[in-house]
Structure 1
Amino acid sequence: MNGARPTRRTVLTLSAAAAAAGSLTAPNTAHAAGPRPGPDLRSILREIDPKRIETSVRRLAAFGTRHTLSSQTDSVRGIGAARDWIFERLQDYAATSEGRMTVELQSFVQPVSPRIPAPTTITNVIATLRGSVTPERIYVVTGHYDSRASDVLDAVSDAPGADDDASGVAVIMELARVLATRKPEATLVFAAVAGEEQGLYGSDHMAQRYKDAGADIQAMFSNDIVGTGDAHDGTRPDKRTVRLFVEGVPTSETAAQANTRRSVGGENDGPSRQLGRFVKEVEPDDMNVRVVWRRDRYLRGSDHISFLLRGYPAARFTEPRENFAHEHQDVRVEDGVQYGDLVEFCDFGYIARVARVNAATLWSLAQAPGTPRGVVIDTTQLTNETTLRWQLGTEPDLAGYEVLWRETTAPDWQHVVGVGKVAAVTIDLSKDNVFFGVRAVDTAGNRSPAAAPQPGS
């Protein structure tokens, strides 16, 4: 805000805030329930087809191996054949978009590294659906189309990679197919990235390209191992849950910035945590998003990390319980039991439900205003009031803003009050006692993710 104080401001007394929020002592249950999907989103969710997802998973597994070091010229087997098939399918979907969707092959040469024994060309397949109102605002969703066997350098053995990660690629392809015919207000990017198993190289290159271009990526989601809610290990299946891993203090922050965030209690209020809360609010009725407050699982990491490292909000979808005996294994039979990441272990209805979670999230984000920028909480004076400031958004249908708050021990927002189309507000509520957030609302009632304030003046 360049030190300038906004001229448009609202002052809410405690009683006014209470009237607007319903209560200052009990959660606003109407807010907690989340929005109901509108007709456009309901139509999108109905069109997601488990059979098409099955076709995609089976076709990807049929390439034998999609190892990053496998053949790039064989038309039948290897990562090159998979790359070309994905590219052709996405081009087919783009043809239905009336020019709004474009598809590209984003290639680069990865130098020698511990899992790359010789310089290797790595190619991401990226479909971009340009937004109709604020195209500069971007939301990205990925799956990685490379696979691996037990030996990470074995580019010869069969590695069908059905769950890891043909399932995630099938999700982004089905999203691209269904959404190509729509007109989201913001830009949506559907990417099949490569080189994940060798070191997140494809997504790392993609994220850096966006960073170099100054792209306004407001959310990124990786779909990695989303093939089944049944671990096939004797445990009870959980076919209505998908995990969403979200980090706390942003990976890109310096130690000083992280300490400042922690000093005001913001370790649970980073942009990725706010994404987790947003996804939970818009989840379809037939799925439970289990938000996990970690960057990723122990000893594991997915492509969202490449975006986190560059300061973008990002999170990872993955199934509720993995069967590690079946993952990253050469196809083999022991005592009559077949092992390997095979199509037979996938549940295409489950993958379709995960795709619907993604669709609800992306569409809700794209149709809402962008996340508020420059949100600060005035910490320069001893007072029992709270003053918040932010930058006014530029969306043509921006209706105003809402201030949210919750007890410091509560994981989710408990109260909300509308404050109008202003750039500052003073609320008769102590900043010492609660956590605050600010979100934008448009004329249709679509709401952005919340932004937590940073201390300022």
Structure 2
Amino acid sequence: MHPVLKTLSILLLAGAGARVVQAAPPADAPLPARQAEIDAIVREISPQRIQAYVEKLAGFGTRHTMSETESDTRGIGAARRWIKAELERCGAGRLDVQFQSHVHPVAPRIPRPTEIVNVVATLPGTQAASKDRYYVVSGHYDSRVTDVMNATADAPGADDDASGTAAVIEMACVMARHTFDASLVFMTVAAEEQGLYGSGDYAAKAKAAGVNIAGMLNNDIIGSAHDEHGKLDNAEVRLFAEGVPPVKETTPALRTLLQTGGENDSITRQLARHVKETGERYVPGFKVNIVYRRDRYLRGGDHSPFLDAGYAAVRFTEPHEDFDHQHQDLRTEHGKRIGDLPEYVDPDYVAQVARVNAASLASLALAPTAPRDVKVRTANLDNGTDLVWAPNTEPDLAGYRIVWRETTAPQWQGAQFVGNVTAYRLDLSKDNLLFGVQAVDKDGNVSPATYPVPAR
């Protein structure tokens, strides 16, 4: 018997026919199995290639959205053609690389109608039941200086956001050599600095077409391992994850989430938990700090349009931003160089963030989809919890895993594999704990959790 299946069978036998009677979640709840293929992907991420990508992007002088488009050596046109060519080269025969563009009308930061061009590389999934489920990872390749309308001054944009763009290119090139059940989209977008117009166009078109984007990871400003005082901090990254969306009108689904105390169990928070657990497992010693906000205080990024479209989306950002090396005219003040230059980017740190991304994407794309229609039966008053859900359709499904935590705990604390069933009862109180249901395949890949709603 496959060792993962043997482990799952042991867990099932321990739980089947008996109820979970512990008053508190166990500290040693079984984790999903570690996958050799994901380990290999993580090992293949190269800081040297990332550094070369950052230097190449900075070498285009400026990548301002309204900069030069005809030159082969300077401006955003040269940058996007190079990105497309590099993705085509490294993903030959595996990646479908396309320009996705639209002409944006005049806007506060767009003084004339301007073509906004994203570079989109898709790695199609290989499982019929999963290939129409997509996971998107992005970085923005445009840059700016102090004056956001200055399209001619040198704007190397090394940290913001050649670092994120380089990570996406590196992930695409590495992961194109592997196969996944679900589809992956590696995307570098333009016009982030002018108003999130590249990502906004992609998200709007995906929503209108009914594309099943099950998760989106945005990498923006992931290049610096030092704070503004020069202190090294290279063992952690921030992951911004929205809870309750700032909608004008509360939807029935959102109202149910609030009524049941699920403010921290939105699809985005579930994605963040999965990324943290997976990333820290495959990149030991590197911490993913989930920040319970859409983005930095009153700021935004390319995941925001995906959130607005109803998709789960998170943002990676270095732990401390140094604003002397971001959105700045190049200059020297009091002997200090100011500007977003490659010399201030640490490729080893970018590689660590890329490894967390890659491990998370691989885990998500290999795992089954998160269970649907998960509900808590509420017909009878009792101190247990009866969960039901719709069956998954993947042919390699092994069963389901129920997870739980205290209402004040950020991460799952307890877990039990319950087999290939669509209902299960736990002698743990729905009054005192929060629950989720995950799908598990025969290799031990585990989906994000789905928060249960009341069965009326």
Q: Name the counterpart of 1:261.
A: 257
In the alignment, structure 1 residue 398 sits paired with structure 2 residue 392: no
1:231-242 matches, cutoff 5 A: 231=227, 233-242=228-237
Deviation at 1:73, TM superposition (A): 1.4
Comparing 274-283 with 125-134, which one deviates more in the overlay?
274-283
Q: d(CA) in 2 for partners of 1:66 and 1:126?
A: 17
- Residues 158 and 342 in structure 2, CA contact (< 8 A), matched pair in contact too: yes
Q: Decide whether the 8 Å contact of 2:29 with 2:413 is kept in 1.
A: no
- The residue correspondences of 1:109-148 to structure 2 (distance < 5 A) are 109-133=103-127, 134-148=130-144
Give runs of aligned pairs for residues 43-82 of structure 1, distance below 5 A.
Answer: 43-82=40-79
Structure 1 CA distance for aligned equivalents of residues 28 and 219 of structure 2: 31
> Deviation digits for residues 248-300 of structure 1, max 9, x if unmatched?
12456941433331111000111111111111111210311111111100132
Whether the 8 Å CA contact 2:57–2:162 is kept in 1: the answer is: yes
Q: Mapping of 1:164-243 within 5 angstroms?
A: 164-231=160-227, 233-243=228-238
Distance 1:45 1:455, change over 3 A: same
Corresponding residue for residue 455 of structure 2: 456
Instruction: Report the counterpart of residue 329 of structure 2 in structure 1.
Output: 330
Alpha-carbon distance, 1:372 to partner = 1.1
Amino acid aligned to 1:184: F
Deviation per residue, 1:8-53 (Å, 9 max, x gap) = xx9x99992437xxx442433244xx44632211211111111110
Q: Greater CA deviation, 319-328 or 407-416?
A: 407-416
Q: Which is further off, 291-300 or 121-130?
A: 291-300
- SS of 1:76's partner is coil
Measured in 1, the distance between the counterparts of 2:34 and 2:399 equals 21
| Number of matched pairs | 438
CA RMSD in angstroms comes to: 1.9
C-alpha deviation, 1:384, in angstroms? 2.5
Q: Percent sequence identity over matched residues?
A: 52
Unaligned runs of 5+ residues in structure 2 are: 1-11
Q: How does 1:230-309 map to 2 (within 5 A)?
A: 230-231=226-227, 233-250=228-245, 254-257=249-252, 258-283=254-279, 284-309=283-308
CA separation of 1:455 and 1:26: change in aligned 2, threshold 3 A: closer
Measure the CA separation in 1 of the matches of 2:367 and 2:272: 16
Is the CA contact 2:141–2:188 (under 8 Å) kept in the aligned structure 1?
yes
Residue type at the aligned position of 1:177: C
What corresponds to 1:372 in structure 2?
Answer: 371
Give the direction of change, closer, same or farther, for the CA distance of 1:213–1:337 in structure 2 (3 Å limit): same
Question: In 1, distance between residues paired with 2:210 and 2:122?
Answer: 17
Q: Following the alignment from structure 1 to structure 2, what is the Cα–Cα distance between the partners of residues 38 and 388? A: 29
Distance 1:410 1:120, change over 3 A: same
What residue ranges of structure 1 are gaps of 5+ in the alignment? 1-9
SS of the equivalent of 1:221 reads strand
* 1:284-332 superposed Cα distances (whole Å, 9 cap, x missing partner): 1031111111110013211111100011101000000000122100111
Structure 2 Cα separation of the partners of residues 29 and 253 of structure 1: 42
For residue 97 of structure 2, give the secondary structure of its aligned residue in structure 1.
strand
TM-superposed deviation, 1:378:
2.5
Q: Partner residue of 1:107? A: 101
CA distance in 1, matches of 2:233, 2:63: 29
Say if 1:35 and 1:281, in contact at 8 Å, map to a contact too: no
- On the 8 A contact 2:15/2:416 being kept in 1, the answer is no
